[in-house]
Amino acid sequence: MKVAFASTWLALALTCIGLLGANVAYSQDPRASAAQKAARDFLVMTDRNDAKASWHAAGKQFQNAITPERWAESLNDVRPPLGGLVDRTLLSTQFTHNFPGAAAEGDYALLVFRTSFAKRTDGRETVTLEREPDGAWKVIGYFIR
């Protein structure tokens, strides 16, 4: 067990040293930064159980799919029982032009977060966004598993 741990630690240390020595700057896709910010802003509203603000901040597809009243009911049914947010870590960001359930082809982002709540430590949140004609990323889907 100690040998496996030492080998893993050594491999990790060598990788870090190699990356530092390469003197390469990696930058994130600007689309990813914008989509992630929009998703996190939306999630802050859901963390506060602010259905009105999150519905208004969502995209047209979201607003056309669910009334503000039904969204408030759904959010209130799901979020408060989980307890407050403890930690949220972005696991992945994927882009596509089409996916099942999308109203039409477009620019879509699918973000998956590992989320811990006070009463549930192993949650996954999936946030789907669409880039609207004005260039803004807007949430069109939100799912907690």
Rounded CA separation 39/115 (Å): 14
Rounded CA separation 114/65 (Å): 26
What is the domain range of residue 84?
29-144
Percent of the chain with pLDDT over 90: 71
Query: Mean of the pLDDT values across residues 12-32?
Result: 47
CATH code: domain of residue 65: 3.10.450.100
pLDDT for the residue numbered 40: 98
Percent of the chain with pLDDT over 70: 78
2 part of a folded domain:
no
State pTM to two decimals: 0.78
Is residue 103 very low, low, confident or very high in pLDDT (cuts 50, 70, 90)?
low
> 3-state class of 41 per DSSP?
helix
Please state whether beta strands 108-117 and 120-131 pair in parallel, antiparallel, or not at all (unpaired). antiparallel
Query: Mean of the pLDDT values across residues 104-133?
Result: 94
Domain count, the chain: 1
In the numeric block, which tokens belong to residue 121? 């430590």
50 part of a folded domain:
yes
20 part of a folded domain:
no
7 part of a folded domain:
no
In the numeric block, which tokens belong to residue 88? 């949220």
Rg (CA), the chain: 19
pLDDT for the residue numbered 131: 96
- If you count DSSP H runs as helices and E runs as strands, how many of each does the chain have, helices first? 5, 4
Per the CB < 8 A criterion, the answer to whether 79 and 46 are in contact is yes
| DSSP code, position 66 | S
17 part of a folded domain:
no
Q: How many CB atoms lie within 10 A of CB 44?
A: 15
42-95 residue pLDDT tens: 999 999 999 999 999 999 999 999 999 999 999 999 999 999 999 999 999 999
143, 130, 98, 110: CA torsion to nearest 10 = -40
Exposure letters 5-23 (e unless 16+ CB within 10 A, then b): eeeeeeeeeeeeeeeeeee
pLDDT for the residue numbered 49: 94
